[in-house]
Structure 1
Amino acid sequence: MRVLVTGGAGYIGSHTVVQLVAAGHDVVVVDSFANSKPTVVPRLEALIGGPLEVHAFDLTDRDKTESLFAERQFDAVIHFAGLKAVGESVEVPLEYYQNNLDSTFALVRAMQRHGCFRLVFSSSATVYGDNAPVPYQEDYEPLSAASPYGRSKVMIEQVLRDVASAGGQWRIAVLRYFNPVGAHPSGTIGEDPQGTPNNLMPFIAQVAVGAREELYVFGDDYPTPDGTAQRDYIHVEDLAAGHVAALHRIAHQEPGLRAWNLGTGHGTSVLEMIRAFEHASGRTVPYTVVGRRAGDLAAYWADATRAHEELGWSATRTVDDMCADTWRWQSSNPEGYPD
């Protein structure tokens, strides 16, 4: 298939591009480079063994989005593009709602006009909110979220559900994933957060490489075995494989929308992750325990049974794999991608 990958230069998008090409698909990328850098492109081309067609613009530009679909015929779209920092979304909620919703509206309208009805949407476990029982299951209702970022995902899921119900031709996969970490085993592409990392793993990696002095652990009095919060960490390579599996599924499934969790099905605590990273890197990761962060949950993880049964997909990489690949990327690229 010819697949358009929106946000294809970003962290998860770039790893998915490599696996899509390896699976025999013809890939085109559109990315505004708001959360990524153009210097990832030659690295992707080296990994896929050839040129990569990249269009640099924001999907909220409806004219450019429409023109791309008018010029190129796509069989499917994988939609990663969007703003994604939970904390930032609380500070500038309007920007998050406007960007994430408008980009999706422009994309889906262009797809519909040009007869492209297969879509894989990058959603998030944040849509389950604060009250869903653990492990999270796809049929849980009502979906909610504690941040504008998460609520934008809930809104988009509902929009896509309504579009699929009204259309009759749409085949939509919604992938709710948990905590992506790790990097390509080559160490040439990985996570390169802009500014202060919002997530645990890149912060640990930057401390280990000497870019930051210490890690703050937000709370050690949770009702978990070691008192620190537990999360379902999934290797980005497993996550990318999940997108390829979902793409193959919607190529043949009946019209409609289906959601799948992509996670390992178990939680890893902050302290467990620190110890695993120290083992993988041979470096000490100094940390200080501070007060809990508002809105953080004690523990959650996925029930990934549906993805295993319906997509033939399971996470295969361990926490040790995640840490080893992250360290290979960070130690080879201590400042991330060059500007």
Structure 2
Amino acid sequence: MTTVLITGGAGFIGSHTCAELLSHGYDVIVADDFSNSTPQVFGRIQELTGRRVGAVYGVDICDRRALTAVFERHQVDAVVHFAARKAVGESTRMPVEYYDTNVGGTTNLLRTMQEHGVHRLVYSSSCSIYGDAGGGPLDEATPARPTNPYAASKWACEQILADVCRRCPEFMVVALRYFNPVGAHPSGLLGEDARGVPANLMPYLAQVAVGRLARIDVFGDDYATADGTAVRDYIHVMDTARAHRIALDRIADAPGMRVYNLGVGRGRSVLEVIEAFGAACGRPIPYRIVSRRPGDVPELVADATAAARAWGWHPTRDLADMCQDAWRFQRLNPDGYARRQPVKANANAKANDSRIGAVT
């Protein structure tokens, strides 16, 4: 087995990736500050996989001392780095905070890895770095044109990682550029449970459908798209998690840095997604058109053939699956993780829970 540290492992994609890795024989430890997540998720991961996360640390990746303590307590073989701020609109209002966390946290992690002889990293990047690149599927050679601080911070991190790999040939890095992961685990045990009002489309739709929110705001209907609303490539979170596991399986294939898009290759407008979610939950979703959101672009659609060629990875779930699974999670967890009774703790679960907390 290989021990993998997952930063942000309690979050949406991170929790699904924990489950995927545990199910395929990896040992997992997690560092997460729980600013947009909850440690309750780890009982559910154990319920799904029959295995527990080895240790969970309440750590801000910008805290060098705390992060160092995690590496000193474990023989870490590889890192999957999710921990970041991720809302486009918020980043335009809080640019300094986004650069502090996303760029500063990444350089802090890289320094700590280097000091402890850890040289394998799977990095959570974003399709947002392509910016307003025009219509049609975008491949990894498409020039970066970030249009907001979130996207710019992700692009800056990719450049830093490329520089590190050029300077330190022992590093092996895979950067995965996601195109809008959505959905939930088919069991309904894991899903997206954002704190406060969701910043992303599908969890917002789910909360409208369950009655927590009155309607959804559609940011602009005057884009140069078929129905005037923004078009994105949506990918199921289970396909995204599987790609992270494959990236770890294959990270030693070559030294240096490799970049792969993760997407379906087909764009869906906001109104199409609203209609599909209404079909999944059996009722129309109320919405209203409002002005465009700063930093948004008309269309982002993936060309993900590079991952298919390199790994044989293909998305296996369509938009209907994404909506049905997201709705199942929301229906079974109408108020998020907090309201469902947690799995009955056994001795191992209690031992795991005792290790949740800030590392000093």
Q: TM-score, normalised by structure 2?
A: 0.90
Match of 1:68 among 67, 70, 79: 70
Task: State the partner residue of 2:280.
Answer: 280
Task: State the partner residue of 2:177.
Answer: 176
Task: State the partner residue of 1:246.
Answer: 247
Task: State the partner residue of 2:354.
Answer: none
Q: Percent identity?
A: 51
Match of 2:131 among 129, 132, 143: 129
What letter is aligned with 2:161? L
CA–CA separation in structure 2 for the residues paired with 1:155 and 1:297? 19
3-state SS of paired residue (1:163): helix
1:100, distance to aligned residue in structure 2 (A): 1.5
- Unaligned ranges ≥5, structure 1: none
1:47, distance to aligned residue in structure 2 (A): 1.5
CA–CA separation in structure 2 for the residues paired with 1:68 and 1:220? 47
1:37, distance to aligned residue in structure 2 (A): 1.1
CA–CA separation in structure 1 for the residues paired with 2:231 and 2:104? 34
3-state SS of paired residue (2:298): coil
What letter is aligned with 2:7? T
> Any conservation in 1 of the 2:41–2:190 contact (CA below 8 Å)?
yes
Task: State the partner residue of 1:290.
Answer: 290
3-state SS of paired residue (1:283): coil
Task: State the partner residue of 2:87.
Answer: 85
CA–CA separation in structure 2 for the residues paired with 1:267 and 1:175? 19
What letter is aligned with 2:123? F
> Any conservation in 2 of the 1:183–1:190 contact (CA below 8 Å)?
yes
Task: State the partner residue of 1:333.
Answer: 333
Task: State the partner residue of 1:118.
Answer: 120
- Unaligned ranges ≥5, structure 2: 340-360
CA–CA separation in structure 1 for the residues paired with 2:287 and 2:142? 36
1:5 counterpart = 2:42: no
Q: Which of structures 1 and 2 has the larger relative contact order (alpha carbons within 8 angstroms, sep 6+)?
A: 2
Greater shift in the superposed pair: 178-187 or 47-56:
47-56
- 1:23-102 alignment to 2 at 5 Å? 23-52=24-53, 53-102=55-104
> Any conservation in 2 of the 1:144–1:154 contact (CA below 8 Å)?
no
Q: What is the CA deviation profile of residues 195-214 of structure 1, one whole-angstrom value per residue up to 9, with x for unaligned ones?
A: 12111111111111111111
Q: How many pairs are equivalent?
A: 337
Task: State the partner residue of 2:351.
Answer: none
| Alpha-carbon distance change, 97 to 126 in structure 1, aligned in 2, over 3 angstroms | same
> Any conservation in 2 of the 1:171–1:253 contact (CA below 8 Å)?
no
Runs of 4+ in 1 over 4 A off after TM superposition: none
3-state SS of paired residue (1:337): helix
CA–CA separation in structure 2 for the residues paired with 1:94 and 1:75? 32
CA–CA separation in structure 1 for the residues paired with 2:156 and 2:235? 24
CA–CA separation in structure 1 for the residues paired with 2:134 and 2:119? 31
Task: State the partner residue of 2:345.
Answer: none
1:186 counterpart = 2:170: no
CA–CA separation in structure 1 for the residues paired with 2:316 and 2:212? 30
3-state SS of paired residue (1:204): helix
Query: Once superposed, what is the RMSD of the aligned Cα atoms?
Result: 1.4
What letter is aligned with 2:210? V
Greater shift in the superposed pair: 70-79 or 214-223:
214-223
What letter is aligned with 2:101? N
CA–CA separation in structure 2 for the residues paired with 1:120 and 1:96? 20
- 1:251-266 alignment to 2 at 5 Å? 252-266=252-266
CA–CA separation in structure 1 for the residues paired with 2:178 and 2:300? 12
Greater shift in the superposed pair: 132-141 or 175-184:
132-141
What letter is aligned with 1:203? Y
CA–CA separation in structure 2 for the residues paired with 1:226 and 1:207? 22
What letter is aligned with 1:5? I
